[in-house]
Structure 1
Amino acid sequence: SCFIVRSKQEGMCAWLEHSLGLWAERQGYARPSFINAGDGKHEHPTQEFLDEFSFLERLAWKDEAIHLALVGDLYHGRTVHSKAEGLRIFKKVRVDLIAPPELAMPPFYLDAMKKNGYELRLFDSLDEYLASGAVAPLWYFTRLQLERMGESVLEKAPRLRKAVSFRKDMLDKLPPGARFYHPLPRDRLAPTIPAWLDDTPLNGWDGQSANGYYTRAVEMAMLAGRIGQDFTGRGRAAPESEEAFIIEATIEASRKPEYKVGIKPVDKGIVIDHIASGESLEAIWGRIDKIRRVLGLNLRSSHGVYHSNKGPEVYKGIISIPDLLSFGEKELKKLGAVSPGCTINLIDGHRVIKKYRLGMPPRIYAFDEISCKNENCLSHPKHEEHIEAYFLRKAATGAAKDSPSAESGYVCRWCEREHSFSEIWTL
């Protein structure tokens, strides 16, 4: 079965695919397929497929480079948000973003474009853009969704529309062969692409709309198993090992007891060391407090901030817990997510007998203390959908990719919003 879903809540399709897929497997049914026809302000993948198809068609199916202007409501327009990833099919990408500050592209998508190597330029209006030179041959307009914004923005509607609406006096400033696109529908009363352009060579939106029939027919045929059996591209990545965030560390020889509870050496127990090592004193104390609350360490113990062996101005946090001999998997995941890079030292006879360094767990879920901070995500507490927060560790890059302790952050599994490891906690 195949479901086409359009939702105002972000992450709906991802959650349905996961939860209903598990249900279908338990019942002995084939996993259902889902097509995301737009979720909130997040993305619009099916529109993105037809947009990229239309761009390639215009560029004679060459994917070496694209220079594209995105014009209009870049804040709410999920079709332009999808281009943060969709334009990666081109080897070189230049994107000009034209929108007044009230309608500018959210930083989340700007950062994604930069990470993907796009060359970006930002302008507040079409007049400013056309005066700058180096105008893109392909323009992509979006409708101004002013109804989603407050009264203060609605009062500015005439100015905002003027900033991104095309006029006849702009025609001679366009490069030869320019083409306009629009996901449709246009605003009936105040379109950013006026109706007099319909019968001009600039009209690329009619062909773009027709392409939607073909691309969506192909998508449904692929999901139905009618075509695509010869697909040889890259599939979904396998999940990371649950143990990838724990590595055994070397124990350094010491002639005296290394850890204490107050002034008394720890005879047997656990010591959490290297907490927020190298960070500010305030940050270290904050991390110690968060660890104690997340793990519920309301028992005999001690904690403090101490000099690190990395230098006189480098500090670290330590929590000493006598008589506690082990942590469960759940506690280890919480600790790794709260304070990646810390170590767990198992003490016996005043000596460290085992030492483990914790990185960020590949997955964090089923914890009451976490939540996605994107208020539009369907898992956000304000929606009262009772959908558990679920985070996936971001893939590390460069030298860090081989280190389980690399602090790379988390991504909400449902809405794909990125979080730092400290942001996912509600404590």
Structure 2
Amino acid sequence: MDTSESTDSGTGPEAEKDTEPATGPRRGWRRWAMDTRPLRIPAYRRLWSSTIVTAVGSQLTAVAVPKQIYDITGSSAWVGAASMAGLLPLIVFALWGGAIADSMDRRKLLLITNSGIAVTSVLFWLQAVTGLESVAALMLLLAMQQAFWGLNAPARNASIARLVPAEQLAAANALGSTVMQTGQVVGPLLAGVLIPVIGLPELYLIDALALCVTLWAVVRLPALPPLESATPRRAGWREVVAGFRYISLHKVLLLSFLADIIAMVFGMPRALFPQLAAQTYAPYGEGLALGMLFAAIPIGAVVGGLFSGTFSRARRHGWMVIGAVVAWGAAITGFGLSSNLWIGVVFLAAAGVADMVSMVFRGAILLSAATDEMRGRMQGVFTVVVAGGPRLADVLHGTAGSAFGPRTAVAGGGILVVVIMLTLAFAVPALRRYRI
């Protein structure tokens, strides 16, 4: 690991780690398949297993809310407004939640926030089953849900470094990211099948029941209080500012955030998918084209996760991030230049694989290059970047697509990703030098 960065293992007896036997190098198909070593650790296995259920359940609510709002108003503008109503609470509470996660037992914080999310899902169900039909109530519940999720995500992600050893952080991130990406594919498809069969309110109820599995898993986690070596901390905005100051003083952390911002802001073209489906890919069928465009990146990410054994043991984490972002930009450029739907989908799926690699190693860097007393705040900023980057991209690509045409905007954005990432990597060597 680069000694120029402040690091600690963040591990302790509470992590319930099993000692991995000396099995030697993996052979045959196991060299390519997902690295499952972290699942040998009971505490991590419980946390990961709960994610399998909630990854799908959360997507049911993600589909149900905009569907219900559209049913009430008949307006896509209200659907967009509801999405933005959840963004501000997410940003505020993710940053504050990171500071809280660094000042208290993370297991306790997970119990509180998961309970809050579950209660919110029950309230979603109640307003739907009683026929309230209030957009204001839906937006308020969505803001509450995103606030609880903003408090939850930093504690959940920061806890991983206390449950698995440093050399398995990339593998653990690959396992978690694969489950979440699978949920983004399976959840909406399942929602589309279930709504005509059981109705909209029951989707909220299924999500609430799924969250009970998460609560059970968190109850069985070991206590995760601040390490004894850490000084007593509060959880105010001064501590949030201290987190940003910490990032500015540790270049590898700053660069890991910038890498994601570059990839997402300049290279996420989802705002142009409807226009591309209606114009460029219209001969294939607008509905089919739109569905394939939205599904291609998550499917590629899932494939990348299933074969994460090909990269999860890499030690040069910085180069893996750089290479993944450049590959993302190149794939997006290829997509923009393609007029054939199926070739375009292949390029988007390749971008999804690159995105999975980037997520795995950026997450590992955040957990290994930050001290435990700062991990919650780093994860809070990470949550904001992940949530905010694509929304900024929607504005940028929508504007550029209207001005220059959708294919030119997409290809130009991909080229910018490649050029900016390579320039940054060679101008500031901290990221490319980082390894564990």
TM class by smaller structure: under 0.3
Structure number with larger C-alpha Rg: 1
- Relative CO higher for 1 or 2, CA cutoff 8 Å, sep ≥ 6? 2
More strand by share: 1
Give TM-score, length-normalised by structure 2.
0.20
Superposition TM-score, scaled by structure 1 size: 0.20
